[in-house]
Amino acid sequence: MKLIVNADDFGYSKGVNLGIIEAHRSGVVTSATVMVNMNGFEHAVMLAKETPTLGMGIHLVLTCGAPVSQNVPSLTDEHGRFRRGRDYLSSASPKEVERELRSQLEKFLETGLSPTHMDSHHHVHAHAAILPIVLRLAKEYRLPVRNPWTFSPGVRAAHSDVLTTDGFSERFYGDDLTAQSFIDAVEELAGCAVAEMMTHPAYVDEEVLTGSSYTLQRARELQILTAKEIKEYVQKRHVQLVTYKELG
């Protein structure tokens, strides 16, 4: 099996960025997706340019921080920040959603880096109101997408031209993670030719502690993803660690 181990939230903060780089250099993380609207974005870009072996995609955001584009009132609260949670997305303006996501993609491209794929914060790309827009952008920008059929299996046949993995796991997430948690998640993906596992490693800093609901768990993930036991398991199981560049 080919496995993409993706670290979400690249660009959230310096602590997150440094943790992801450590999880790649000393662990099993092969890929990351960056939030272009967060304070650590420029730092993440600098690290990505210093670490060409790390695949780097875009983590589309509609529920955290502030938008990149102007005049998207259906997406923002009274402070000009994205509305919290996914519930509001059903009533958000599709034109404003597309304008914002396109602006995020263009901001990524301005760095000179080539995105490997697209996914999203809180899986908004798989939301019924957002998925058609994301699929349209994926085709336009010729980018693979984190497997949305996990969340919306009924629409796959109509978009067979969108490149994605055979499987996707969000199981490696939560309060009680162990090395066995990672191994169990990989075993569940064993029938897939190419699969992706979502992760969130980080060094916990002030921005994570004050801005995220997922805090100390990130440090635990970093410890597991760099553990000798995990690297030995991957080798013994003949799991080929790849990025979205190798997809298709």
User: pLDDT, tens digit, for every residue of 164-185?
Assistant: 999 999 999 999 999 999 999 9
* pLDDT range class, residue 158, cuts 50, 70, 90: low
For 134-170, give the DSSP string: HHHHHHHHT--B--GGGT-GGGGGGGTTS---SEEE-
> CB atoms < 10 A from the CB of 104, how many?
24
Q: Average model confidence (pLDDT) for the chain?
A: 94
What is the arithmetic mean of pLDDT over 54-80? 97
For residue 230, give Cα distances in angstroms to 135, 137, 194, 213.
34, 36, 19, 26
Quick one: pLDDT at residue 108?
Answer: 98
* Amino acid occupying residue 116: T
Quick one: pLDDT at residue 244?
Answer: 97
The Cα–Cα gap between 184 and 182 comes to 5
- In percent, the amount of the chain with pLDDT more than 70 equals 95
Instruction: Identify the CA nearest to 146 among candidates 129, 125, 130.
Output: 125
Q: Which residue has tokens 């263009």?
A: 106
User: pLDDT, tens digit, for every residue of 106-143?
Assistant: 999 999 999 999 999 999 999 999 999 999 999 999 99
For 61-77, give the DSSP string: -SSSS--SSS--GGGB-
Burial 138-172 (b: 16+ CB within 10 A, else e): beeeebbbbbbbbeeeeeeeebeebebbbbbbbbb
Is the pLDDT assigned to residue 159 strictly greater than 70? no
Quick one: pLDDT at residue 150?
Answer: 64
Quick one: pLDDT at residue 153?
Answer: 52
Count H helices and E strands in the chain, helices first: 8, 7
Quick one: pLDDT at residue 162?
Answer: 87
- In percent, the amount of the chain with pLDDT more than 90 equals 92
Cβ neighbours of residue 123 closer than 8 Å, sequence gap 6 or more: 151, 170
Is the pLDDT assigned to residue 201 strictly greater than 80? yes
Is the pLDDT assigned to residue 239 strictly greater than 60? yes
Is the pLDDT assigned to residue 191 strictly greater than 70? yes
Quick one: pLDDT at residue 247?
Answer: 83
> CB atoms < 10 A from the CB of 85, how many?
9
Quick one: pLDDT at residue 156?
Answer: 57
